């Protein structure tokens, strides 16, 4: 909330605080629109139904300098190196497919995943694997809004609607944090 302080003309030492709601930013409006498009109900599984497809068209959003796919690949390589140094995480060479990832990752419940639905901690499930998409938001060619709208939920259908041909595990394996304990295939 935006807070303004106005001094009282009768007594310069006293202050009154007036709370005025700040208007939503462009990104906040886009996130709200995307949230409506993906059917932000209580459902953990997001359906890519006709209403969703009609209201949320695929499109690229402008990215800031330093946040291209080339930069994402560099960041991912650094993440793999960090994982190797601490002796944990996934391997760049052996864990770039969903089957090998699933065997190495801890199971997570829907409740655990739902707790990560904010911009500063954004997890989502794609094909049974839980990915930490917090860093990916700034790089995502489709923008942050759709990722944030899917945060804390199973976005497999939405992912497949937009990116059926993209290997999510190959792109995001370094950021895999778990696997859905009970996954609906």
Q: Which of 48-62, 89-103, 137-151, 152-166 has the lowest mean pLDDT?
A: 89-103
Mean pLDDT of 169-175: 89
User: Tens digit of pLDDT for each residue in 20-68?
Assistant: 556 556 555 555 555 544 444 558 888 877 777 676 666 777 777 888 8
Q: Which pLDDT score is estimated for 136?
A: 94
Contact 174, 86 (CB under 8 A): no
From its phi and psi, is residue 15 left (phi > 0), alpha (psi between -120 and 50) or beta?
beta
Q: Which of 3-17, 51-65, 119-133 has the lowest mean pLDDT?
A: 3-17
Q: Which pLDDT score is estimated for 10?
A: 43
Which range of 75-84, 126-135, 141-150, 164-173 scores highest in mean pLDDT? It is: 126-135
Strand 121-126 relative to strand 117-118: parallel, antiparallel, unpaired?
antiparallel
Does pLDDT of 123 surpass 70? yes
Q: Which pLDDT score is estimated for 46?
A: 80
The DSSP annotation for the chain comes to: -EEEEEE-SS-TT-EEEEEEPPPPPHHHHHHHHHHHHTT-SS-SBPP--HHHHHH---------TT-SHHHHHHHHHHHHHHHHHHT-S--TTT--SHHHHHHHSPEE-HHHHHT-EETTEEEEEETTEEEE-TTGGGT-TT-HHHHHHHTTSB-HHHHHHHHTTS-HHHHHGGGEEEEESS---
Q: Which pLDDT score is estimated for 133?
A: 96
Q: Which pLDDT score is estimated for 118?
A: 94
Residue found under tokens 């997570």: 108
Q: Which pLDDT score is estimated for 100?
A: 74
Mean pLDDT of 120-143: 94
Q: Virtual CA dihedral for 59, 64, 69, 75, nearest 10 degrees? A: -140
What's the whole-model pTM score? Answer: 0.70
C-alpha span between 46 and 39 (Å, rounded): 7
Q: Which pLDDT score is estimated for 15?
A: 47
Q: Which pLDDT score is estimated for 98?
A: 73
Beta bridge partners, 4, equal: 18
Q: How many angstroms separate the Cα of 148 from the Cα of each of 4, 13, 181?
A: 29, 44, 22
Residue 61 or residue 159, greater confidence: 159
Average per-residue pLDDT for the chain: 76
Beta bridge partners, 130, equal: 125, 178
């Amino acid at each position: 909330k935006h807070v303004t302080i106005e001094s009282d003309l009768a007594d310069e030492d006293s202050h009154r605080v007036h709370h005025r709601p700040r208007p939503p930013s462009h990104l906040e409006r886009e996130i709200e629109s995307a949230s409506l498009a993906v059917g932000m109900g209580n459902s953990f599984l997001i359906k890519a139904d006709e209403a969703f497809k009609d209201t949320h068209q695929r499109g690229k959003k402008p990215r800031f300098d330093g946040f291209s796919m080339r930069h994402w690949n560099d960041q991912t390589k650094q993440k793999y190196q960090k994982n190797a140094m601490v002796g944990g995480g996934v391997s760049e060479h052996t864990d770039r497919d969903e089957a090998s990832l699933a065997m190495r990752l801890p199971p997570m419940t829907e409740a655990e995943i739902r707790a990560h639905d904010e911009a500063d901690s954004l997890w989502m499930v794609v094909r049974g694997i839980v990915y930490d998409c917090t860093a990916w938001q700034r790089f995502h060619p489709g923008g942050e809004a759709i990722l944030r709208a899917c945060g804390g939920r199973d976005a497999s259908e939405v992912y497949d609607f937009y990116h059926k041909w993209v290997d999510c595990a190959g792109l995001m394996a370094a950021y895999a944090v778990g696997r859905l304990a009970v996954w609906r295939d």
